[in-house]
């Protein structure tokens, strides 16, 4: 009824994990609780779990498919070590920069597993312009984008500035696991995990609209190569 195995329920009872909205919604319906359980879950999330980066990373590590749109910087799973280090140094939000860089590089290992998740990424064209870390770092990052997007399970496209502002600032990620689909919104230093199905569906529509405006993969690769040639 709750779309969960006995082990999941055991973890809920022990406080090791908490049920998602997708788990609680069927219980609300079956017990006719007027959405009490899902409302309580949302209240707890709003009051105690922002920005819930840990939960986001847990979903990311178990996702069968990942979709991301980024308007400011290269998506974390596609960043080079030097690019990530430059971001952390400039951002000033972590105490141990090298540990943060290592964690980000470890997250990327999922893309190289025997059964990797499908990854769709759309980068806004200005992401290719920002000189993060300087010319050498950016040149290496653009080359990395061309290389890492070659496997069939990774799709990389660019949203051209000519398409206009898409209505989403920062980063939008959609993650689909065997149990549920969630979204994660991030802008600046703030992040928000979205688990309510209606809101996730709305964000999926937003992502699809952005994807409809993005360049095809081959044209995106050509654009990245052209940007690479402009770096002095």
For the stretch 28-50, pLDDT in tens is 566 666 555 565 565 455 444 44
**Residues 120 and 69: beta-carbon distance below 8 Å:** no
**Residues 155 and 149: beta-carbon distance below 8 Å:** yes
pLDDT tens per residue across all 232 residues of the chain: 556 566 555 544 545 456 666 776 676 566 666 555 565 565 455 444 444 566 888 899 999 999 999 999 999 999 999 999 999 998 777 789 999 999 999 999 999 999 999 999 999 999 999 999 999 999 999 999 999 999 999 999 999 999 999 988 899 999 999 999 999 998 877 789 999 999 999 999 999 999 999 999 999 999 999 999 888 7
Q: 12-32: string of b/e by CB count within 10 Å (b at 16+)? A: eeeeebebbbbbbbebbeeee
DSSP secondary structure code for residue 95 in this structure: S
CA distance 115 to 66: 14
Q: Where are the beta strands (DSSP E) in 14-113?
A: 65-70
Q: Which CATH class is domain 51-230?
A: alpha beta
For the stretch 70-91, pLDDT in tens is 999 999 999 999 999 999 998 7
CA distance 178 to 137: 37
- In degrees and rounded to multiples of 5, residue 158 shows phi and psi of -115, 135
Pairing of strands 65-70, 190-194: unpaired
Number of H helices, E strands in the chain: 9, 6
Q: Where are the domains of the chain?
A: 1-49, 51-230
């Amino acid at each position: 009824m709750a779309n969960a195995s006995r082990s999941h329920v055991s973890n809920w009872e022990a406080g090791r994990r908490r049920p998602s909205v997708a788990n609680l919604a069927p219980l609300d319906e079956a017990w006719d609780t007027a959405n009490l359980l899902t409302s309580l879950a949302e209240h707890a999330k709003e009051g105690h779990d922002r920005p819930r980066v840990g939960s986001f990373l847990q979903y990311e590590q178990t996702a069968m498919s990942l979709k991301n749109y980024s308007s400011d910087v290269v998506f974390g799973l596609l960043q080079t070590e030097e690019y990530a280090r430059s971001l952390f140094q400039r951002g000033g939000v972590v105490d141990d920069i090298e540990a943060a860089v290592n964690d980000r590089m470890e997250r990327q290992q999922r893309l190289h597993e025997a059964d990797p998740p499908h990854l769709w990424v759309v980068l806004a064209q200005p992401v290719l312009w920002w000189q993060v870390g300087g010319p050498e770092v950016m040149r290496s990052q653009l080359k990395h984008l061309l290389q890492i997007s070659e496997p069939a399970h990774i799709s990389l496209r660019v949203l051209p500035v000519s398409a206009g502002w898409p209505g989403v600032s920062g980063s939008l990620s959609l993650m689909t696991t065997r149990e549920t689909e969630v979204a994660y919104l991030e802008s600046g230093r703030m992040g928000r995990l979205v688990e309510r199905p209606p809101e996730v569906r709305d964000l999926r529509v937003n992502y699809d609209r952005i994807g409809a405006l993005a360049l095809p993969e081959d044209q995106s690769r050509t654009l990245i190569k052209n940007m690479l040639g402009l770096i002095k």
